[in-house]
A and B are shown apart, each in its own frame.
Chain A
């Protein structure tokens, strides 16, 4: 009974997943993402094979996890690399098709406009337009709401005699006209000669014509001066004959341009080099400090003669257990230059008020200080585990030799902990190299360098620098951010491979 229930459940789950997969394919196909639809279809087909063939039995177990890793780690990584070769940014945000559609939808006012008045006509309304030469155009009754084309016909001018009939009914009040604005915005009034008029202000329509028309060869013609616009796919802009770019730009591949910029153009290379140097220094110092403090506490807490060891351990572990998104802003408040408790204490004791957030070196020290505080408990716990594995005889032998605690620490504990902990130190270096959360929540990268064209801060790490380029500073240069991220990927990959080697060596030794 139990057996069949389990298998029925799995089969039902499989059928459900298959249906979901096919639904995604149909959805993608309907959205004309044909390549993507084909890829997902291939994936679904592959999965069906895996779950029906007996030769791929192991993969029935592996597929969920491996596919998740592919989708949520590998795909974003590859996509990052891909965007690094484009010009994707707030200036080149749209696809080519969308950017072209935007241009084609653009209209240009001819300068002519007409004031209008609205009259009630049964359940709907009736327009009466008056142009600047006092010519009148009127419409039939229309029901406002939704896209609407309203043909106008010429009416006798509003002379003294003709106004007799107009006097019989009053146009609706301005307040009502304002209430109707959303509906009026969707109205296109057409004159007998074909000119189209659209709402331009509360009581005025202006004549507008499409600014561009598409030519059979794919170029656009500017209707104002007849200039031919050509799509420049190398830079992602429609260009006029004189080379001037017409916004909006579109996304396109620009090969290695972002990388060339980073490494050859001074205004990009200088902040990059500085931020890179600080990232390396920050990660190195931080690894050394957290490990140094961590192993000292671990050695102390491993001393069996010491009482209250558990209480101390609990207390010293606390910084690691409190969520960083809370403890980092707490420090930002405590370090506040005017109101922060740290400066109040420093002023009381030494009469100084360091400007933690505006002096580059002080800001960097503060960042290191806070992150050491956040990170040493992790090292402490790791070291305690490793110290426990050191045979007690070593310390007994050293005591017979008359060695002191410092000798014990530097000759026995440190060397024996250092080797196995090496991979974790490298991992810690990699993590802190990319510690975006710390910088973003503590300083936001500030204080900024004053002498760089591209904004960068003295506490910015490469990761927070890319975050700024992509999401914070104006310009939102996604492509440049992805190019820098790709460079960091290479660095992290190198560290990861070294790490794996160290792991393997460890694995072969015992």
Chain B
């Protein structure tokens, strides 16, 4: 907002604004600084200063799957297979994001480039469906995959493919995001290609898609992220400890009787940092897609 002001009142106001923002930034940073500090403190119960007196890498070693030997020669083995969990999450998220992207691209193309009966209602329906959280259908998803597992074991409960498939419900949102981007790409090049005898499919694959690579990358990243951080469905479908995803497995650190605060902190930073960076890179697309989705048509 443009302030038309000069003089000392402005300086005071600026100072006040800085004060508010700095306090807010400190409040925001507090949990993160705390968790870094906790991951470097020895032991799982110790409390202490923000900057630990004794630095130790025991929690980091355990998070990376390396046994830790303390000064008395006592060996601590990693409590949980954190790297396996990260691997599982990566696998499920990659499959799910690939499937999501493949399924939503052509529909987005049709909505952006073709006129047909029922286009408006279909688009509204997609927007509507996108609002229903999948957690409400949790029992149904569980029961469905339980049944499917009787027929096809590798697609039943406790299988990564069932989890990846259940995340495909996100396509409604992805179709909207991709369609929004297609709308902003000029149609002239495709029309010129059509004049040269290209079919619709060719125009889409050879002309539109190369120009839309950014949104395809972003949707892939968002679908990937949303699968990486999903908890409820994964907690219901997966049982075996070494098949869990990171989102479910990382909760095992903090049972009241088995409170591995330091080990959790190290694992959280290890897994959380790349995901946070990826989200920071893609977030502006998600936000602009959400805000423009309803306004534009």
A binds B: yes
Interface residues of A, Cβ cutoff 8 Å to B = 2-3, 6-7, 10, 27-28, 31, 33, 57-58, 60-66, 68-69, 71-77, 79-80, 83, 88, 297, 299-306, 308, 312, 314-327, 329-334, 339, 341, 344, 373, 378, 381-382, 385-387, 390, 392, 395-396, 399-400, 405, 408, 412-413, 420, 423-424, 427, 430-431, 434, 436-437, 440-441, 463, 466-467, 470-471, 478, 481-482, 485, 488-489, 492-493, 495-497, 499-500, 503, 506-507
The majority secondary structure among interface residues of chain B is helix
Cβ-defined partner of B1 (8 Å) among A7, A408, A489, A503: A408
Q: Is the CB of A316 within 8 A of B25?
A: yes
Q: Nearest Cβ in chain B — how far from A468, in angstroms? A: 11
B242 interface residue, CB < 8 Å from A? no
Q: How many A-B contacts if CB must be within 8 Å?
A: 291
Q: Which of B56-64, B183-191, B286-294 contacts A (4 or more CB under 8 A)?
A: B286-294
With A64-B103, A68-B103, A327-B272 known, 8 other A-B pairs at CB within 8 A are: A6-B202, A65-B175, A69-B126, A378-B287, A385-B288, A436-B133, A437-B232, A441-B251
15 contacting pairs across A/B (C-beta < 8 A): A6-B201, A61-B110, A72-B166, A83-B139, A83-B140, A305-B10, A308-B18, A316-B24, A319-B28, A322-B276, A385-B291, A405-B3, A424-B290, A478-B142, A503-B295
Are A330 and B268 CB-contacts (below 8 A) given A6-B205, A68-B168?
Answer: yes
Q: Which residues of A contact B152 (CB under 8 A)?
A: 27
A-B pairs, top 10 by smallest CB distance, nearest first, are A65-B107, A76-B137, A61-B110, A72-B169, A503-B294, A79-B140, A325-B247, A399-B4, A80-B140, A61-B106
Is B103 within 8 A of A470, CB to CB? no
Q: Which of A6, A57, A76, A321 sits near B279, CB closer than 8 Å?
A: A321
Q: Are B116 and A58 in contact (CB under 8 A)?
A: yes
Contact A506 B140 (CB under 8 A): no
Instruction: Find out whether the CB atom of A62 lies under 8 angstroms from the CB atom of B107.
Output: yes
Instruction: Tell me if B76 is interfacial: C-beta within 8 Å of chain A.
Output: no
Whole-angstrom distance from the CB of A409 to the nearest CB of chain B?
Answer: 9
CB distance from B106 to the nearest CB of A (A): 4
Contact check, A471 vs B151: say whether CB atoms are below 8 A apart: no
CA gap between A300 and B3 in the complex, in Å: 11
Q: Which single member of A66, A327, A400, A430 contacts B31 (CB below 8 Å)?
A: A327
A339 touches B114 (CB 8 A): no
Identify the closest chain A residue to B20 (Cβ): A300
Query: Shortest CB–CB separation between residue B101 and chain A, in angstroms?
Result: 11
Q: Contact: B31 with A471, CB < 8 Å?
A: no
Complex contact B231–A437 (CB within 8 A) = yes
- The residues in B between 76 and 115 inclusive whose CB is less than 8 angstroms from any CB of A are 102-104, 106-111, 114
Most buried by A among B10, B31, B165, B297: B31
Contact between A424 and B131 (Cβ–Cβ < 8 Å)? no
Residues on the B chain within 8 Å of A382, using CB: 287, 290-291
Smallest beta-carbon distance B96→chain A, Å: 11
B247 to chain A, nearest CB (A): 4
Query: Which residue of chain B is the closest to A27 with respect to CB atoms?
Result: B151
Q: Is B194 an interface residue (CB 8 A)?
A: no
- A76-B134 CB under 8 A given contacts A329-B254, A329-B264, A481-B139: yes
Given contacts A330-B31, A395-B4, A485-B136, contact A507 B294 (CB under 8 A): yes
Contacts of B246 in A (CB 8 A): 325
B240 within 8 A of A: no
